[in-house]
């Protein structure tokens, strides 16, 4: 079961997303209303998934860099009611893995998380295969000498 932390200034949004995640089988270990409170929860619980409101990221642009450096394998989901191409592209470049749209629809949220996890696993497997293929090719070349 993946552990999750939710960071959003809206108590209503945190509560709704918490319910969706719990009903979907995730373990919500904490909810923060600021980036600082969210970071404290992450230090304490080491979640595999972080759902952070767009406004929180914009109010503290360094938080994504800190999360990515401290928990490089965690999944980061930006939560917002609006997404435009520039925002999505900027968020991806900062390390965001996926996007959760408000208002929350349980099936959509859970499918988004599932698809993001599957895509990440596929990328990791492809990278590992390429790395192992490169090692095998190098070993093959060394054996021919």
pLDDT tens-place string over residues 10-67 = 999 999 999 999 999 999 999 999 999 999 999 999 999 999 999 998 888 899 999 9
Across the chain, mean pLDDT equals 90
Q: How many CA atoms lie within 13 A of 58 on its CB side?
A: 9
For 49-76, give the DSSP string.
EEEEEHHHHHH-THHHHHHHHH-TT-EE
Residue 145 has pLDDT above 80, yes or no: no
C-alpha triplet 25, 64, 12: angle, nearest 5° = 50
- Residue 65 and residue 11: Cα distance in Å, rounded? 25
Banded model confidence at residue 135, pLDDT cuts 50, 70, 90: low
Banded model confidence at residue 138, pLDDT cuts 50, 70, 90: very low
Burial of 27 (0-12, 13-18, 19+ CB in 10 A): middle
**H helix and E strand count, the chain:** 6, 5
Residue 139 has pLDDT above 70, yes or no: no
What was the pLDDT predicted at 61? 81
């Amino acid at each position: 079961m993946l552990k999750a932390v939710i960071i959003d200034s809206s108590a209503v949004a945190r509560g709704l997303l918490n319910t969706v995640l719990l009903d979907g089988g995730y373990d919500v270990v904490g909810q923060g209303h600021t980036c600082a409170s969210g970071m404290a929860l992450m230090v304490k619980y080491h979640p595999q998934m972080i759902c952070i409101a767009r406004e929180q990221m914009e109010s503290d642009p360094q938080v994504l860099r800190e999360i990515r450096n401290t928990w490089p394998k965690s999944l980061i989901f930006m939560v917002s009611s609006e997404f435009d191409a520039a925002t999505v592209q900027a968020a991806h470049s900062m390390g965001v893995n996926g996007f959760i749209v408000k208002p929350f629809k349980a099936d959509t949220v859970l499918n988004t998380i599932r698809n993001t996890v599957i895509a990440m696993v596929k990328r990791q497997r492809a990278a590992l295969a390429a790395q192992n293929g490169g090692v095998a090719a190098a070993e093959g070349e060394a054996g021919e000498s």
